[in-house]
Structure 1
Amino acid sequence: MKLSAPIFRLKRRAKLMARNSNVPLSEALDQIAREEGFARWSMLSSRIAARSLSETILSRLDDGDLLLMAGRPGHGKTTLGLELLLDAVRDDRKAVLFTLEFTEQQARKHIRSLEKDLLGIGDTLEIVTSDEISADYIIHHLSGSEPGTVAVIDYLQILDQQRSKPALSDQVLALGDFARKTGIVLGFISQIDRSFDSESKRLPDIRDIRLPNLVGLGLFNKACFLHNGEAQLQDVA
């Protein structure tokens, strides 16, 4: 969705509205966001942040990398993952979304809302919605794909929610080994723990990843943390 004005002008408009109408700035920002087709200002700002950030991330990913994309609900992590896949398509790479959250129809609708140049480019993005998604399923599905293929998994914390699937730590180990051997890039959308306090720090970090089941976060090469329209990409030590 194209904004009616650059985001800095929308912020200026909200500040004027807040001053002239004597309402809180947060209320004015949300009103501007609704006029632009978003439910809240945080959704508008995270969408814009994801658009510019995804191109930077793709350029910094090496073949075989495992990437975490983490944030609280509504702060842009899913949008970032889809933008990353669209950037891969534009770069003539194979791109696959494995989702245990969306139906294909829901995912396609979200993708269409993100296409900012060639309409229909997202149609070449493959979407897999099987309930059987797991490390073994992903490895089998991607076998034979070229190095540089980008796949996004939505999302990390439910890969092992079925008791019949291997432990999350075992799945991430298997996927990491597969990525290194094949040169396929794997991105994992991830939840942030509810204990994250934005009053004490602007952005979450690796210590704030929600881990109902233990997994070594050092298995990931890179991580991107998002909150309230801001984002930071970092190497995982």
Structure 2
Amino acid sequence: MNGLIPPNAVEFERLVIGTCLIDRKGLEVVLRVFKDNAEVLYDPKNKSIYEAITRLNKKNNPIDMMTVIQELKKENVLETTGGDQYIIQLTMGVSSSAHIEYHARVVWEKYLLRKMIETGNMMIRRAYDETVDAFDVLDYTVKETNKIHNYLSGQKPIKTFFDVHQEFIEYVKAESVPGVPMPFSKLQEENQGWQDSDLIIIAARPGMGKTALALEIARHAAKEDYPVHFFSLEMANVQLHKRIVSNELGIDSNRIRKKRFTDKDLELIFNCPDFEHLPLYYDDTVFQWEEIKSRARMLANEKKIRMIIIDYLQLITTKEKMSTYDRVTHVSREMKLLAKELKLPVIALSQLSREVEKRPGKKPQLSDLRESGAIEQDADIIMFPYRPEYYGIETWEEEEEWETSTLGKALLMKAKDRHCGESDLVIGWKPENQKFYDLDKIDVIIESKDLPRYGTNEAF
């Protein structure tokens, strides 16, 4: 593009190829670094010779100067590679294979630089093309950059048991388990926070408080100085913010909705410097998964995001036309991959099917996850917020250690947890603030088999 010669190390290439022709151990080192990718080599002659070497290797044929010459003759490319004389010169230039890995990595690094230049040039051309969407350009750049990262990953040595055990020792020495803080003390004690690379699904029927729970999780993490990126595909940013203000400042949500503020309300709103600077980032302008992924990557880099929340899964679209089942399956898997890529927890809200409404107790279960069984498969944790009071179920049956009334109570059901198993937590619910809260000393985690049977109102 600019007339400059691309990065290369042709002299090192010749040493590498020559070593492959006379030293089996050197060949094995080169194959481990280059694999079957002849594009690593810049000189076309060296590319052709390396391709012949890899073909012979796949057939388990011997590899030396004569077998490679015969292979090149068979493919009718011997003359274009410099003929017999060039092959002989390559072997004569090798004095030792002692530094072959270093030589191979120099060649490979030059290849990596050429790939970076190629990606940059393509990004520039696409950016100038007015028919191409900006997010397509960004997504292309991210994909190609990830490929380069994958090349780097492929060069990392395989870790031994000893290496991993040393990492484990550092984990043991650490004062605490790393994780984004949870807003409920018993849940925090059990899980030690939301863990990196986890996909967490919060699923419920409408009216159960999925968004309220997600906002409480986001608010709590942000207050502990863990930046959160909140994608809202259903509610506008200002609607979410009204709920956060109600939760944090204790202002009745009806007064906020009707703008009937008391003097105390206004004082709280206008004088909350700590609250104003919470590291919580709203995003209500994107709906396609490709755009969500690009935004998430960008903000994770710029703002050092520690957790992503998406409200909610079934509203996410894709550029490719898919059936609802295929789309939800695709996005579910992609969210898990994004969590692993960015090394942070991704929390996604999800709808449940109407099957829940047909049960006497209205209690959700994993089979109610809507549209795709992939959600259950991909998720590390699945939680159901459940408020019996919403259905007119006013009491639980008498059980020791349980409050009989469901008024102002909710059950946070952990139906799947790859780390520490299923368990359920009783939490508080404030309808005036649309807020879930920790019941402190009276909250309990109990095993699913010990759950009470819910009494039902006559209307149900």
TM (norm. structure 2) is: 0.36
Which segment drifts farther, 175-184 or 121-130?
121-130
Change (3 A) 1:198 1:236: farther
> Structure 1 or 2: larger strand share?
1
1:120 is aligned to 2:275: yes
Give the Cα–Cα distance (whole angstroms) in 2 for the partners of residues 70 and 230 of structure 1.
Answer: 13
The residue aligned with 2:165 is: none
Change (3 A) 1:209 1:95: same
Q: Once superposed, what is the RMSD of the aligned Cα atoms?
A: 3.2
Aligned amino acid, residue 230 of structure 1? L
SS of 1:143's equivalent?
helix
1:158 is aligned to 2:318: no
Give the Cα–Cα distance (whole angstroms) in 1 for the partners of residues 363 and 230 of structure 2.
Answer: 26
CA contact (8 A) 2:228 2:305 kept: no
Give the Cα–Cα distance (whole angstroms) in 2 for the partners of residues 157 and 54 of structure 1.
Answer: 30
The residue aligned with 1:232 is: 413
CA contact (8 A) 1:203 1:230 kept: no
Give the Cα–Cα distance (whole angstroms) in 2 for the partners of residues 99 and 219 of structure 1.
Answer: 21
The residue aligned with 2:327 is: 167
Q: Within 5 Å, which residues of 2 pair with 1:188-207?
A: 188-197=348-357, 199-201=359-361, 203-207=363-367
Structure 2 unmatched runs, 5+: 1-181, 251-271, 388-409, 419-460
Aligned amino acid, residue 189 of structure 1? L
> What is the count of residue pairs matched by the alignment?
186
Give the Cα–Cα distance (whole angstroms) in 2 for the partners of residues 104 and 53 of structure 1.
Answer: 28
1:75 is aligned to 2:189: no
174, 182, 190: which one aligns with 2:342: 182
Identity %: 20
> Structure 1 or 2: larger helix share?
2
Give the Cα–Cα distance (whole angstroms) in 2 for the partners of residues 122 and 76 of structure 1.
Answer: 26
TM (norm. structure 1) is: 0.66
Q: CA deviation at 1:207?
A: 0.9
Structure 1 unmatched runs, 5+: 1-49
CA contact (8 A) 1:152 1:188 kept: yes
Give the Cα–Cα distance (whole angstroms) in 2 for the partners of residues 174 and 51 of structure 1.
Answer: 27
Aligned amino acid, residue 219 of structure 1? D
Q: CA deviation at 1:143?
A: 1.6
The residue aligned with 1:129 is: 284
SS of 2:364's equivalent?
coil
CA contact (8 A) 1:115 1:121 kept: no
213, 235, 239: which one aligns with 1:106: 239
CA contact (8 A) 1:54 1:80 kept: no
CA contact (8 A) 2:365 2:415 kept: no
Give the Cα–Cα distance (whole angstroms) in 2 for the partners of residues 125 and 143 of structure 1.
Answer: 16
Q: CA deviation at 1:51?
A: 6.2
The residue aligned with 2:106 is: none
Q: CA deviation at 1:167?
A: 1.9
Q: Deviations over 1:187-236 (max 9, x none)?
A: 1111111111474456312111122x664421010011111121112435
Give the Cα–Cα distance (whole angstroms) in 2 for the partners of residues 224 and 116 of structure 1.
Answer: 27
Change (3 A) 1:176 1:51: closer
CA contact (8 A) 2:225 2:279 kept: no
Give the Cα–Cα distance (whole angstroms) in 2 for the partners of residues 148 and 58 of structure 1.
Answer: 20
197, 205, 215: which one aligns with 1:64: 197
SS of 2:355's equivalent?
coil
